Amino acid sequence: MKLLRFGEKGQEKPGVLDTQGTIRSLEGVVNDVDGSLLADLSVLDGVDFDSLPKVDANTRFAPCVANPSKFLCIGLNYADHAAESGMPLPPEPEVFTKAVSAVSGANDDIEKPRNSEKLDWEVELAIVIGKECKYVDEADAMDYIAGYCVCNDVSERNFQLERGSQWDKGKGCDTFGPIGPYLVTKDEVTDPCNLPMWLEVNGKRYQNGNTNTMVFKPAFLVSYLSQFMSLKPGDVISTGTPPGVGLGQTPPVYLNEGDVIELGIEGLGQQKQVVVAAK
């Protein structure tokens, strides 16, 4: 299934794509696409999606999962991206968090923060948790994944790397976590470790990678994180980016107001964002 949420901010509703790629409303069937639903997707068994009310194709895609309790991220998880960043490949996953207030819709504007000097992009595969887990073995970890989505791990490199040791300041600003447009359930993703991914800025392709170059794979990451904290249904784990970020260009290239970012992952959909001044 390709689950989604649609509607204006504060008025989001649950939805799904039917077999023809048309958005259908799940109002009256489920309350929302959130942890409660992801913990028991069987409530959708037998639902004829093609018979549900159609939704205007121009509707806003809201964040594909509502109210995650955690937004975890993995840094330097592609060897070639670590090299372009001038950083060593970590012996264990480099873990940081985005504030859940950073979550935004796939095509929502990205706000350039006040005093931002080095606004950057990162196309990433995100894992969405489906069952609560703690101290999970890697061999069992896939059982706790509900599905996957596209994430743009928007970053402010000055805030992240030049203003103290904590990355979170450059990762958790408002609008820095577009997720979606869809949450694609894991049964539709044959191999999450072999998905082409790309990102363009103003029509120029900067990132053209594949999840097959991830160092730490989804099952390992879920198991690893569960050793340090419980993971709840609806939690999001963004798994790192391939090379081609602005920081890695010669000279570096950063985002400015008016720039247009387009990105996608095969089978998971595409995003498009415009950079605007922070409100």
Render pLDDT for 37-63 as a digit per residue (tens, 0 to 9): 999 999 999 999 999 999 999 999 999
pLDDT at 82: 75
| Verdict on whether the full-model pTM lies above 0.85 | yes
| Mean per-residue pLDDT, 211-238 | 97
| Mean per-residue pLDDT, 208-229 | 97
Q: Are 110 and 274 in contact (CB under 8 A)?
A: yes
Q: Which domains does the chain have, with CATH numbers?
A: 65-277 (3.90.850.10)
User: What is the rounded distance in angstroms from the CA atom of residue 33 to the CA atom of residue 44?
Assistant: 11
User: What is the rounded distance in angstroms from the CA atom of residue 265 to the CA atom of residue 124?
Assistant: 8
Strand 110-112 relative to strand 269-277: parallel, antiparallel, unpaired? parallel
> Which tokens belong to 99?
């504030």
In single-letter form, the type of residue at position 95 comes to V
> Which tokens belong to 198?
């790309």
Per-residue pLDDT band at 64 (split at 50, 70, 90): very high
pLDDT, tens digit, for every residue of 66-75?
999 999 999 9
pLDDT, tens digit, for every residue of 124-164?
999 999 999 999 999 999 999 999 999 999 999 999 988 87
User: What is the rounded distance in angstroms from the CA atom of residue 202 to the CA atom of residue 243?
Assistant: 18
User: What is the rounded distance in angstroms from the CA atom of residue 130 to the CA atom of residue 143?
Assistant: 8
Q: What radius of gyration do the chain's Cα atoms show? A: 18
Distance of CA 218 to the CA centre of its chain: 13
CA-to-CA separations, 145 to 110, 148, 165, 170, 269, in angstroms, rounded = 28, 8, 31, 27, 19
Mean pLDDT of the chain: 96
Long-range contacts of 273-276 (CB under 8 A, 24+ apart): 273/107, 273/108, 273/109, 273/110, 273/152, 273/178, 274/109, 274/110, 275/109, 275/110, 275/111, 275/112, 275/119, 276/109, 276/110, 276/111, 276/112
CA-to-CA separations, 117 to 15, 31, 182, in angstroms, rounded = 38, 41, 31
Q: Which residue has the higher pLDDT, 162 or 12?
A: 12
